């Protein structure tokens, strides 16, 4: 499936990296050294290396926002991996669109699992004989990504699995004309991303938004808001977001992950 979409056809292969290592730590650079040794013309793109340490949900939300912006032939490597060195499985995912993702089996790829096929990575073509206990990003995932970027077959990475770990993904629930969700994560601007996705509004108009007991002003753009006012809008990542015009919604309105968000439709 999708094999033709993976062909680089003379274009440089694309590899993306997402980790919680810190861009200045030297660890992403070591992964790039391994990648470039095996895929000399790779276009390597950093999605982020500033995921909060061990924040698997935060990493998953960033993947959800970034991965679909890349051509399907890109290979995505994500490492937020509190359990490195334990028995957690190394994972390769091919999602319903044919996108290939590689990293630990800990829920990081939850947004891509709906119609996915998954494999654990066991082949000694990519797993080194003496695997480091602490840096699978460099010693296991980067070689697996290089194998895929060079046209390797995901089915040869190891046995297929049907039970990849899924995050208890905080989705939205519809009751009548109310869609109820929660605050998930703040972005670097202090905008709060919620669990309510655009497709869950089913094309219906939002009439009002409540965050706990506070009303948010529904706008299409920041520009429609007054300074300091709590705004709600569909953000660029396809989720309902809470924001303040030229301000920091998290700080100015005390928003926290887990707070209840209610949208009335109609």
| Pick 49 or 253: Cβ nearer a second copy | 49
Could you give the angle at which helices 27-38 and 142-149 cross, rounded to 10 degrees? 30
Task: Return the residues of window 17-76 that contact a second copy according to CB under 8 A.
Answer: 21-27, 29-30, 32-34, 36-37, 40-51, 53-54, 62, 65-66, 69-71, 74
Give CA angle at 142 (184, 17), nearest 5°.
Answer: 35
| Pick 16 or 195: Cβ nearer a second copy | 16
C-alpha R_g of the chain: 20
Task: Give the other-Cβ count within 10 Å of 50's Cβ.
Answer: 16
Find the shortest distance in angstroms from Cβ 192 to a second copy.
14
**Residues pairing with 43 in the sheet:** 14
b/e code 177-196 from CB counts within 10 Å (16+ = b): eebebbbbbbbeebbbbbbb
Task: Return the residues of window 132-161 that contact a second copy according to CB under 8 A.
Answer: 132-135, 138-139
Q: Is residue 198 near a second copy by the rule CB under 8 A?
A: no
Binding site for a second copy (CB under 8 A): 11-12, 14, 16, 21-27, 29-30, 32-34, 36-37, 40-51, 53-54, 62, 65-66, 69-71, 74, 82-86, 132-135, 138-139, 187-189, 220-224, 233, 235-236, 246
């Amino acid at each position: 499936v999708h094999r033709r979409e993976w062909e680089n056809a003379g274009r440089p292969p694309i590899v993306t990296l997402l980790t919680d290592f810190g861009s200045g730590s030297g660890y992403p650079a070591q992964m790039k050294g391994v990648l470039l040794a095996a895929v000399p013309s790779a276009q390597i793109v950093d999605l982020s290396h500033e995921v909060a340490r061990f924040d698997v949900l935060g990493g998953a939300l960033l993947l959800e926002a970034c991965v679909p912006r890349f051509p399907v032939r890109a290979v995505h490597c994500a490492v937020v991996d509190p359990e490195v060195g334990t028995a957690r499985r190394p994972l390769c995912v091919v999602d319903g669109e044919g996108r290939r993702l590689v990293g630990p089996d800990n829920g990081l790829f939850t947004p891509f699992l709906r119609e996915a096929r998954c494999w654990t990575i066991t082949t000694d073509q990519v797993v080194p004989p003496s695997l480091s206990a602490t840096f699978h990003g460099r010693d296991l995932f980067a070689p697996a990504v290089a194998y895929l970027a060079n046209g390797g077959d995901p089915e040869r990475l190891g046995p297929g699995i049907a039970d990849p770990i899924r995050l208890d993904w905080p989705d939205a629930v519809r009751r009548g004309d109310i869609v109820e969700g929660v605050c998930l994560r703040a972005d670097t601007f202090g905008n709060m991303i919620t669990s309510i996705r655009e497709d869950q509004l089913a094309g219906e108009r939002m009439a009002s938004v409540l965050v706990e007991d506070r009303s948010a002003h529904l706008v299409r753009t920041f520009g429609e808001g007054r300074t300091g006012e709590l705004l709600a809008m569909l953000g660029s990542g396809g989720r309902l977001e809470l924001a303040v015009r030229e301000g920091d919604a998290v700080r100015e309105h005390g928003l926290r992950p887990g707070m209840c968000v209610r949208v009335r439709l109609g």
